[in-house]
Amino acid sequence: MLDSLAKKWRRSARESYEDPAPPEGMTPLSASLEENIIAIRQAAANSGDLVIKRLVTAGTEVALLMTEGMFSLTAFALLLAQTLPNLKDCSGPEEVLEWVRRYSILGADQGEVRTREEVFRLMMSGFVLLLVDGCAVGINLGMQGFSFRGIGEPNSEVNERGSREGFVEPLRINLTMVRRRMKSPNLCFEFIQVGGKVKTDAALIYLSDMVSGRLLRQIRSRLSQVNMDVVLETGYLSPYLEQGPLSIFSGVGSTERPDTLCGKLSEGRVGIMLDGTPFVLVVPYLFTEHFQSFDDYAHRPYYASFIRLLKYISFLFTILLPGGYVAMANFHPELFPEVLLYNVARNELKTPFPLMMEAVIIFFIYEIMREAGLRLPRPVGHAVSIVGALVIGDAAVTAGIIGAPMVMIVALTAISSFVVPSLYEPVTVLRFAFILIGGMTGLFGITVGLAVVILNLCSLVSLGVSDTAGAAPFVPYSMRDIFIRAGWKTLEKKQLNVEDLPGEKLK
Amino acid sequence: MARQISLSQLMAMLLLSRLFAAIAAGPWKVVSGGEAVLSILAAAGMEGAVWILCCALAKRGDLYDQLARRSRLLAGLVAALYAAFFLVWAADTLATFTYLVKTEFYPQAGTLVFLVIMGAAILYSVMLGVEAVSRMSFLVVIIAGVALGAVYLSMADEVDMLNFVMPASLGPGQVLENTPLLFSRWSEAAAFLFLAPLAKGSWRKGVFWFWAICLVFYEVTTVYLTGVMGGYGALQNYPFLALLSMTELSVLRRLDAVYLMVWIFAAFLRTLVFLQAASMAASHLMQPRSRPRFRVISALLAALAAYFISDHLFVMMDWNHLVQTGLLFLCFLVVLPAVVLLLGKKEVPA
């Protein structure tokens, strides 16, 4: 009997646990503190980290609601714990509320809340909520004190010169990094929420005197169409901001560096920052910007121009070199110098696979090792490089699976692909595609494929701005910062704004 | 009609079209040396007059609208004729290109594989619109210019003026007889008639530079072909490709295979130019929602016609003979524009 009763109790507890009443719509706060607390506890399904401290001050019952681990204990102790319980001059809940509103500073960021949804959202953002019995309004006190990763150099965008700061996960910290660099009253942060269920904070960042109103309206409209319940990374939002034909290239860029973002904002672009990720989206993003880095503007122009051209050449190498080699060796051997031709032929005689298969196999193995090296824990990560060197560099050639020239091609291609890391995804796909095309149709197929890729790139329009703007449609003054980097005395003569680029549809 | 592209982009498209026509179907195997220099001048003079006529016509507004104010039937007939004309040129481009690639680079391969690959790429590209094509054209023109400049620089030492004979040594008749061989494939002015409304910029300047660059290109190429190869060049199917096969750039030899990439780009874009012009010509004859379908169908038709022409040598020869008479040029670049100029009515401002 006891067992069956216990089962019934567990079942009812499980059912009540599985079916908490979710907050629906915007439910206004009640004037009764008890009702509010009960409703909030129910909605939170009695979550273990919900902390509710009730106390009486100046004869009025109040409650402090907070999430464990999200608020600063020091600020709480200094600002609240010592002042609120000792309040004496107020009689009644309205006077208590008035005192908190106008005659005290209990938190750096103080505001009012009127709905339960806002209470939840602010509590889970690290605010401490003050509810007063008898008032249907609460006060949120900014006392955030949750732990987050320290500000350090971003791993994905390493530069020789420039700031060593990179964005971190909390949105507000990131906003301060931008604000410190751009002390302009025109710098605007427009807060929105994305994600139907999780309501993640996001911010549109722009310079109000530079940005195109039409661009902003388009971005707002597109983001309002995001129907996902959960948005954990800015990459989730990218497809909503892209337009134009299906393409492996994207008209939406991202950055982890505040200095880079500030540079983009000063050209009339919009940054989209999301709480919980250090990667900030930048729209619109031109194709040529993949080849620009912050270092270009810190170095001397001649060196920066050399590096810029090197990046373009590396990009072409990494997508065309393997396919071109396979095409030339199979269909156009007359293009090789004689000595090289004899070497290639000699090595190919030793291997069992056709050249195209060799290239596909070796690049497939390379991608496996690259992905493994990315995911492996650091202590064993160096084992991947040892295995890679042994497998590709030595064993495969000694075993006669691939030829030595192919190892050189793989090495050069792999190194070239990391010169422009932001294009790694399309480069990987294009590389395989061109290997297959070159192996089957020679230089003819590679050229037709390249023509289709270039045409596709030229057809991309990112929120009213062509992805190839500056180069095509050609603009002479844009050339100062596309294939070369002109000196600052030239660059400062005329500001480049995306809305002024020819062919754009932002005006 | 919204002006979607700049005039420099339009002219880049037309320059690439002319480049392909020169390289793949150039007159140098028939006309060389001093005669060619004079024939080119005569042909350029004739083309200049045609450009003036076409510019005057384009300035008056849309061709169809000009004639429609007189007779809608006549306007429809002229539009349909031009659409067919451009489709034929698109097919000719594909056929000529396929024949070139097959005979010079891939002798073992069948015709169909080139047309299928090129046709698929063109089918995809026609849907992307004229803006994308024009942007790509500008980039390709720069690449082609650099590539040609490299060829001319590297072969500058090989030019031997002894290979030249005195111009007009065979008499002016020979020069005049050879002139139609040059302008018979110069259809860019007709394409300009229909693409100009899409372009913003000064037409006069753009047309002048196009004409001048083409003239200089033909003359310089003639000097090189005759000066470097002499009579040997006239024996080749594609004299310019023969010149490229002799060019060396550092460790690279047989640059004809490298420049194959430039020809492929040029053929690809020339086909797209004529397909776009055909679409513009036929746009008044159909509902707006049918235009994407027309583009696809016209690309397929051009590819099919190209296959038929390139796979049947005698058909190709007959077609080339017809083209070389200059009849098509006279009909569609002189007679029809003159008819429209005489019969068409300008729009009267309200």
In this prediction, residues A142-165 reach a mean pLDDT of: 86
pLDDT value at position A9?
A: 55
Predicted confidence (pLDDT) at residue A84 exceeds the cutoff of 70: yes
A106 pLDDT tier (thresholds 50, 70, 90): confident
**Are A456 and B131 inside 8 Å of each other by CB?**
no
Report the relative pairing of strands A253-255 and A60-67 from DSSP bridges.
unpaired
Q: Compare CB distances from A245 to B128, B136, B138 and report the shortest one's residue.
A: B128
ipTM of the complex: 0.89
**Are B136 and A473 inside 8 Å of each other by CB?**
no
Q: What is the pLDDT of residues A287-329, one digit of tens each?
A: 999 999 888 888 899 999 999 999 999 999 999 999 999 999 9
Q: Compare CB distances from A447 to B5, B136, B261 and report the shortest one's residue.
A: B261
Element (H, E) at B272: helix B255-282
Give the bridge partners for A187, in sequence order: A207
Q: Is the peptide bond before A284 cis (omega within 30 degrees of 0)?
A: yes
Of the ranges A153-157, A431-435, A499-503, which one carries the lowest mean pLDDT score? A499-503
Predicted confidence (pLDDT) at residue A187 exceeds the cutoff of 90: yes
Predicted confidence (pLDDT) at residue A21 exceeds the cutoff of 50: no
Predicted confidence (pLDDT) at residue A489 exceeds the cutoff of 80: yes
d(Cα B165, Cα B234) in Å, to the nearest integer? 14
Structure tokens at B246: 């002799």
A390 pLDDT tier (thresholds 50, 70, 90): low
Predicted confidence (pLDDT) at residue B347 exceeds the cutoff of 70: no
pLDDT value at position A507?
A: 55
A392 pLDDT tier (thresholds 50, 70, 90): low
Q: Which of B135, B247, B261, B276 to mutate to test the interface with A (most CBs of A within 10 A)?
A: B135
Residue ranges of chain B whose CB lies within 8 Å of a chain A CB: 5-6, 8-9, 101, 105-106, 113-114, 117-118, 121, 124-125, 127-129, 131-133, 135-136, 138-139, 251-254, 257-258, 260-261, 264-265, 268
**Are A458 and B132 inside 8 Å of each other by CB?**
yes
The minimum CA-CA distance between B132 and chain A, rounded to whole Å, is: 4
The minimum CA-CA distance between A239 and chain B, rounded to whole Å, is: 20
- With beta carbons less than 8 A apart as the criterion, state whether B37 and B205 touch: no
pLDDT value at position A131?
A: 93
Contacts B252 to A, Cβ<8 Å? 335
Predicted confidence (pLDDT) at residue B242 exceeds the cutoff of 50: yes
**Are A444 and B121 inside 8 Å of each other by CB?**
no
**Are B257 and A335 inside 8 Å of each other by CB?**
yes
CATH topology of domain B5-342: Amino acid/polyamine transporter I (1.20.1740)
pLDDT value at position A341?
A: 87
Find where tokens 């006069």 sit.
Answer: B204
Q: What is the pLDDT of residues B140-163, one digit of tens each?
A: 998 889 888 888 888 888 888 777
- Contacts of the segment B334-337: beta carbons below 8 A, 24+ positions apart: B334/B50, B334/B53, B336/B78, B336/B81, B336/B82, B337/B50, B337/B53, B337/B54, B337/B57, B337/B193
Residue ranges of chain A whose CB lies within 8 Å of a chain B CB: 245, 331-332, 334-335, 337, 441-452, 454-456, 458-459, 466, 468, 471-474, 502-503
Q: Chain-wide mean pLDDT for chain A? A: 85
Interface A–B counts its CB contacts (< 8 A) at 95
Predicted confidence (pLDDT) at residue B1 exceeds the cutoff of 60: no
* B182 vs A421 pLDDT, higher one: A421
pLDDT value at position A15?
A: 41
Q: Compare CB distances from A451 to B106, B121, B131 and report the shortest one's residue.
A: B121
Find where tokens 């729209």 sit.
Answer: A283
